[in-house]
Each structure stands twice: as structure tokens, then as C-alpha cells.
Chain A
Amino acid sequence: MHLFNQKYWGKLARKDWLVNGDRNSRFFHQLMKARKSCNAIVKIKDSSSVWVDSPTHIQQLFVHDFTSRFKSLHPTPFSIDFVLPLVVSEEDNINLVKPVEDHGIKEAIFQMDKYKAPGPDGFLSGSLAPDSHRCMPGH
């Protein structure tokens, strides 16, 4: 009986996913809410391991942390002493810097994953691919 129950509910849950997983349904909204609360950063330790829990402070902490992480410690070019052999040939270089052509652009667009998270411009790469012939001159 227990096993039956498990199977039954398992199937039902699967069905819910299939039917409502992607629709604008109550199920979907509940799911998203749960996900959001799971991923929320409620409190965090700062550099001196004190808990910070106000939203604005958390934000400031992140901005401060990342700004310093990406700041170079060597503002002026510093001395570098290593020697690498020349391995990139003339021929390779010609291929590397040749002018970009339509099929190169097309290849790049079609290689991108369709449903990766979009950047600040909000374009999914997938939204480009199906009608990417529009990107090409002459269309």
C-alpha cells in the first residue's frame, strides 16, 4: 500500500510538472515563489565575520567586495620576466585576424545555447537564432 501511494503521488507530481510546469498557472507561481525564497540572501557575514542582515547593507557589502576583488594591485605596468617561445605562425595569424564574414557570425550565433540567462540587454541568444538571417546584410 505504501509503495502504491508513493508511485501514485510520484506520477501525479510528474503530471503536474508536465502540464503546469511552464504555464502561467498557480502551480508555476508557487514553484517560483519557493525558488525565490530559497535563493534569497537574507543575511551574510562581512569580512570581520559579523552577521549583516539589512538588505541595503548586504547590497553594499557585495558591491564593496566585488569592486575590490576586480581592482588591480598593480596600476602601473609591472616588470614581467618570463620568456615564451613563438609558437603562433604567420599562417595562424592570418586566420586569426582575417575580416569577419557572414558565415562566421552565423556560426557563432548558432553555436550559442538557446536558453541561457540573458544579459542586461535582455536578449536571449535563442531569440536570435531562428531568424538570424535578419542579421545578415542583404535581407
Chain B
Amino acid sequence: MYARPLNRFFIDGKLLKQVNHTLIALIPKVENPTTTTQFRPINLCNSLYKIIAKILVNRMHPVLGKIIDLVESAFVPNRSIHDNILLTHEVRSKFKHMKGKKSWIALKLDMEKAYDRVEWNFLLEALKQLGFHSKWIHWIQECISTVSYSIIVNGEVIGFFSPSRGICQGDPFSPYLFLICMEVLTRELRKAQNTKKCGIGYKISPRATKIPCLLFADDSLLFCRSNLEACQRLNGVLVNFCRNSGNLSIFISRLSLSQKMRRLMTASCCFSF
């Protein structure tokens, strides 16, 4: 019963809008939610669409390890999120016992409604530049752009609208698409880090490789030297990423410093989003 519509999608690359109609269920993020933003939208897709998405994901799986940088630990096959947790602890303890002239900053970034705010152009451009086949990109585009939503509030289905940005949470391949978006940031940081004396990235020991950031899907931890130039450079990269990716708003939720806290003021002043 599913073979024909599936073939239709994979051969003609056309997906009926009705197939991709999706209900948004609201799951409270906190104990007693008071505003609409405290609900997490989880999408309940049609089974046909789910099968299509699942097939796409299964095909993408083997390629993922190649595309996504080692600093990302979530969702990528054969990587464990615990590695990054361990590394984070390592860096923190290093920060605590640091001696000498240099001092460092670790920034924890929070992205507000990251999944819902991804711009489609940005995502498709990233896929294109990574070298995905145009047919494949077209499939992805068809899947994300034919969505229409209705919301379930108190058991009633209400509203009907078509989005023009965002990827659905609850869709099997949305985490992977989000990883690709974050990959753009990682690559930019890596590029910035490779220029000499830029101050972005952190080495645990003199022989170790430099880590520009550690990512856990939409949570990220960035490292830089605590001087004005390095912070400005990092700020530049982040502002650029924000602009490219549409309006992902980034907050610094936590800022931790190595010994030498005096430079805190210069560091925290120059980040502006």
C-alpha cells in the first residue's frame, strides 16, 4: 500500500502537501509553564512521511561520520556523548590549576529555539557546498518545504499554516540536518583557529590538538584566550554565523574563566549579539 507513493517521491521528487501535514503537540519544558515559549513543539508526522524520512536517514548515516567534525559528539554514529563530557571536565580542571601568564575563557552558548529558526536557504547551501548530489538536496528540500502545521491545544486541533523556516522536532532526520548547520560554525572556528596567534581554541597539553569548541547538538562550549583581540575575533565569527544562518539568536549562558579573573571585564564587554 505504500510502495507506489514512495516510488513517486523517489522518482519524480514530488511530495503531496497532504502527506506532509503535521500536528504539533505541546510538551511542557518546565513544571508549571506560563508562556507559550515554555512548551516544546513536538511534531507528529504522517506515517508515510515518516517512512520517507527514515529511508533518507538510513542512507545518510554512513556519510555522517565523514562530514561532521570530531568535536560534535551527539547523534553521529560510533561517537559517544560521554567523550565530550570527559573532555569538558578535563578542560575545567586544567583551568582551575592553571599557572603562568596566559588565561583562557570558556563560553557556553545557548541557542534559542534553534531547530525552529533554521533558515532553509542556509541549510540547502551548506548541503550543496558539502557536495551532496542535487537530487538528494531536492528530496530534502521537498521534505522540509511541503510541511504544514496544526497545533493541538487541550485536545483540540486548531490552526493551519505553512512555515517558511525551521525543521521539525520529531521528524527522524531533523537532528542530522541541525548537525549540518552547526558544522558551518565548527568549520568557521577551525578556519579562524588555523591562523597564527588568533587565540581561538584550547590545547590541553602542548602536544595535544587544539580544540576550538565542543558541541552537544545545540549546546556548545567555545574556548578562547582572554584578551581583547581573541574575543573580538570570536565575536566576529559568531556574528557572521548568526547572520548567515538566519536569525539564530545566541546567548552566552555561562562564562567560566581560568585563573586570572581580572581580565573578566575586558572579555565580557566585547561580545555583542
| Interface positions of A (Cβ within 8 A of B) | 36, 40-41, 44-46, 49, 55, 58-59, 61-63, 65-67, 69-75, 77-78, 80-89, 92-93, 95-97, 99-100, 102, 104-105, 107-109, 111-112, 117-121, 123-125, 128, 134-137
Binds A, one of B48-56, B84-92, B220-228, B257-265: B48-56
Which of the residues A66, A102, A112, A136 comes within 8 Å of B24, measured between beta carbons?
A66
B contacts, CB < 8 Å to A? 1-3, 6-7, 10-11, 21-26, 33-37, 41, 44-51, 54-55, 58-60, 62-63, 66-67, 113, 116-117, 119-122, 125-126, 129-133, 135-136, 149-151, 153-156, 158-159, 161, 163-166, 183-184, 187-188, 240, 244, 246-247
B48 to chain A, nearest CB (A): 7
Q: Which residue of A lies closest to B129 (CB)?
A: A84
Bound CA span A70–B34, Å:
21
Instruction: Give A94's nearest chain B residue, CB to CB.
Output: B133
Q: Write the chain A residue with the least CB distance to B67.
A: A87
| A65 in contact with B36 (CB, 8 Å) | yes
Known contacts being A92-B63, A100-B55, A120-B46, is A71 close to B41, with CB within 8 Å? no
Given contacts A70-B164, A70-B165, A137-B3, contact A44 B34 (CB under 8 A): yes
A44-B36, A84-B126 given; A71·B50 CB < 8 A: no
